[in-house]
Amino acid sequence: MSQYDVAIIGAGAAGLSAALVLSRARRKVLVLDAGAPRNAAANHMHGYLSRDGLPPGELLAAGRKEVRHYGGEIVDSTVRGLAAGSTGFRVRLAEGQRVSARRLLVTTGLRDELPDIPGLRERWARDVLHCPYCHGHEVRDRRLGVLGGGPGAVRYAQIVREWTHDLVYFTPPGTLTAAERTQLTARAIGIVEGTVKHLVVDDDRLRGVQLGDGCVVPRDALFVPPRFVPNSRLLTGLGCDTDEHGWVTTDPTGRTSVPGVWAAGNVVDPRAQVITAAGAGSAAAIALNADLVDEDVRIAVDSYGRTS
C-alpha cells in the first residue's frame, strides 16, 4: 500500500490548487479524480481573473500539468471509501487498490438537482443557466426568464434583473406575497403565474416557456435555481459534523471536526465560484502543511528524547 502525506479526493479547482501548494511544499501528494467537474457542461468559464472565457477543461488541464511538474501524482479513479487508522487514513479506490495518507483533503464538489421539466436538462449550461455572475453577461439585454416559486427566488430574480430590462418571473399561482409582487412590479419584472409545462426549443435554441394553458412566453434564456447537493458522503462516512442543512462544517481553513480531515470548494460551500474554490483549496493546503509540520516536530522531539 502506497503511503502519501496528503490524499486529495477531487481534481477540480479546489483540489488541484491545494495539490499545487502541497507539492511545492515538498509533500508527497496523491490526487484522485472521478472526472466529472461541476461546470463541465459549460463552454466557457467566466469571472476567473486572467482566465476569463477559458473553456473549463483547459484550466484543469493546465492545473494538472503544474501539479505534476512539482511531483504531485494524479490518478483518474473514483474513491469508494475512506477509513481512519492509527497513524492516518486508508483510501479505497473503485478498482480495488488502497493507498494510505497522513491527512485527507476532500474536494468532491456538489451536484445540481434541476426541476423535472421536459427540455430543461438538455439546455443546461446553454440557455438554461443558474449563475448570472458566470453567464449573465453573455445574455445581457436579452429576453430572460427566472423559474421562481422556491425559497429566495424573488431575490434571485432581482439580481438577474441587473442584466436585462426584459425579465419574466414564472411562478406557480398563489406563491407570491404582496410585498414580493410589489418588489417585482416596481422593477418592471413581468410576473407569469402558472405551471411551466416544458421548454420550447427550435433549431437548437430556446424559444420560449410553455405553460399549462398552452400559452408560450418567448424567452432567449431561462435562469433556474438548482438544489445544491454536496458530494459529501465520504466526509459524513468519516463522522464529520454537519450543520442543520446537512452541509459538512469546517473552520476558515477547511478543517473539519475529524482530526486530519480537511474539505474545500463546493463540497462544503455552495457559493464557491471557480476562483474562490481554488482559493479555499490553497488555504486548506497551507493549514494542512502546518498541521503536518506540527506532527513532524512531535515525532522528532520524541525520537530525540529517546536517543539523548
Ligand X SMILES: Cc1cc2nc3c(=O)[nH]c(=O)nc-3n(C[C@H](O)[C@H](O)[C@H](O)COP(=O)(O)OP(=O)(O)OC[C@H]3O[C@@H](n4cnc5c(N)ncnc54)[C@H](O)[C@@H]3O)c2cc1C
Closest CA to 232 of 279, 202, 270, 200: 270
Residues in the chain: 308
Place of cell 463552454: 43
Footprint of ligand X (CB under 6 A): 9-15, 32-39, 41-42, 45-48, 78-79, 107-109, 112, 125, 131, 134, 231, 265-266, 272-275, 277
**Sign (positive or negative) of CA dihedral 46, 268, 279, 62:** negative
Q: Check: CB of residue 107 under 8 Å from CB of residue 264.
A: yes
Given the complex with ligand X, which of 82 and 176 has the nearer CB atom? 82
CA neighbor of 47 nearest in space, from 275, 279, 211: 275
Comparing CB distances to ligand X, the nearer of 175 and 236 is 236
Nearer to ligand X, 10 or 149 (CB): 10
Rounded to the nearest whole angstrom, what is the least distance from the CB of residue 254 to ligand X in the complex? 11
- Backbone phi and psi for residue 205, each to the nearest 5 degrees, phi listed first: -140, 145
- Tell me how far, at minimum, the Cβ of 95 lies from ligand X, in Å: 12
Residue 72: CB minimum distance to ligand X, A: 15
Taking the complex as a whole, the smallest distance from the CB of residue 191 to ligand X amounts, in Å, to 27
Residue 299, phi-psi category: left (phi > 0), alpha (psi -120 to 50), beta (remainder):
alpha
Nearer to ligand X, 53 or 212 (CB): 53
Q: Please, which residue, 23 or 210, has the CB nearer to ligand X? A: 23
Instruction: Give min distance, CB of 187 to ligand X, in A.
Output: 25
Pairing of strands 73-76, 89-93: unpaired
Q: How far is the CB of 130 from ligand X (least distance, A)?
A: 6
DSSP assignment of 100-122 equals EEEEEEE---EEEEPP--TTTGG
- Give the separation between CA 145 and CA 123, rounded to whole angstroms: 14
Q: Which grid cell is 160?
A: 438577474
Question: Which residue number, 133 or 290, has a Cβ lying nearer to ligand X?
Answer: 133
- Closest approach of Cβ 156 to ligand X, in Å? 15
- Nearer to ligand X by Cβ, of 167 and 264: the residue is 264
- Look at residue 148 and give its three-state secondary structure: coil
Q: Which is nearer to ligand X, 124 or 295 (CB)?
A: 124
How many Å apart are CA 308 and CA 305, to the nearest integer?
6
Cβ neighbours around 190 below 10 Å, total? 14
What's the DSSP call for residue 247?
A: P
169: nearest Cα among 178, 179, 133, 185 = 185
Closest distance to ligand X from the beta carbon of 231 (Å): 5
